[in-house]
Amino acid sequence: MRGIYLISILAVIMLVTGVEQCPMPQGGGLGGGTSSAKSGLDASLVQGVGYLKQGMTIQQGDTFKVLINLANYDKTEKRGIICVKDNQDDSYGGIPLSGECSPFYVAAADYQDEKLANAASQQIALPIQGDYSYYDIPISSSAKIFISYSYVQNSIAQANINVPSPEQETVAMQQPSAPVSVSVEKAVSKQQEQYKLTLGMTLSKQSSQEIKLYSEDMSIENSIKFTAKLSPKKEFAGYPLDCTQNNPGIINIENTKFIKCSALLPLEITSYPLLIYTDYGVKVTKTIDFTISKEKI
């Protein structure tokens, strides 16, 4: 269930039909660096006359917009909210310190034969109406604009678990590139007339000062929903996994979280699909540095 804040914003997404025709994205991601990860939800500034870019000088009285391209490389659609604000007093104009926000919706990326064919994207221009401008600046100074976007991430990590051999192995997981990744160590032993499967699962949070994780309703930091399933065949509901963490359950993750799960299985040679679900909110904040010039050049 989403929090009231996100629900009220996301409810109007269907009213958003798009933005004006704009230049195509150029250069690096937000913050001016080169975007290295073409996965998940990525944001970049769209450059052009009248649009903010990293390191630019804005003359007092000049008008500008913040134009952001959101590209989705994930197999699932993304809905959320994107906001901008600056660090200047509101008496000098610019972007309100309280921030200005817009909902967004980006469709799922197009995959063919499990390979990315085309990313989906949406461009967001802020302010929605008019332009930003600075005035009555006492002196020329450096300034910052903060761009943040929030969305809910629903990921599935999956693999085939072979029983009984090999008795120990690092499981090759298939999973999307996301703020939380999963690694699994497998061990199999015999317990009376059954095999005991033990899975050591490590959930790792992406190391980045720009990314923060929250519960799905964006109310609790570093809180994610975890579910692990072991399902042998379509006609069976699956074998229960007994875990050191409630399964399904809510876990707190600062950097990494280790969860140990086990199941008792029949004495037969087979492969079991393992599915690990992680659901959580993501907030990414980027900083744009620029200069406000009091004098016209």
Q: What is the pLDDT of residues 197-236, one digit of tens each?
A: 999 999 999 888 889 999 999 999 999 999 999 976 555 5
Q: How far is 296 from 294, CA to CA, in rounded Å?
A: 7
User: Does 130 lie in the same domain as 13?
Assistant: yes
User: Does 183 lie in the same domain as 132?
Assistant: no
User: Does 137 lie in the same domain as 54?
Assistant: yes
Q: What is the pLDDT of residues 124-133, one digit of tens each?
A: 999 999 999 9
**What pLDDT, on a 0 to 100 scale, did the predictor assign at position 103?**
97
User: Does 188 lie in the same domain as 102?
Assistant: no
Beta bridge partners of 174: 158
pLDDT at 121 over 90: yes
Neighbours of 262 (CB within 10 A): 18
**What pLDDT, on a 0 to 100 scale, did the predictor assign at position 113?**
84
pTM of the prediction? Answer: 0.83
**What pLDDT, on a 0 to 100 scale, did the predictor assign at position 40?**
79
User: Does 16 lie in the same domain as 109?
Assistant: yes
> How many separate domains does the chain show?
2
Q: What is the pLDDT of residues 9-47, one digit of tens each?
A: 444 333 333 333 334 444 445 654 334 445 678 899 999
pLDDT at 8 over 50: no
User: Does 158 lie in the same domain as 114?
Assistant: no
What's the CATH code of the domain at 247?
A: 2.60.40
pLDDT at 159 over 50: yes
Per-residue pLDDT band for 1 (boundaries 50, 70, 90) equals very low
Domain span holding position 33: 4-152+283-293
User: Does 186 lie in the same domain as 107?
Assistant: no
User: Does 139 lie in the same domain as 109?
Assistant: yes
Q: What is the pLDDT of residues 80-118, one digit of tens each?
A: 999 999 999 999 999 988 899 999 999 999 988 878 889
What's the CATH code of the domain at 64?
A: 2.60.40.10
User: Does 64 lie in the same domain as 123?
Assistant: yes
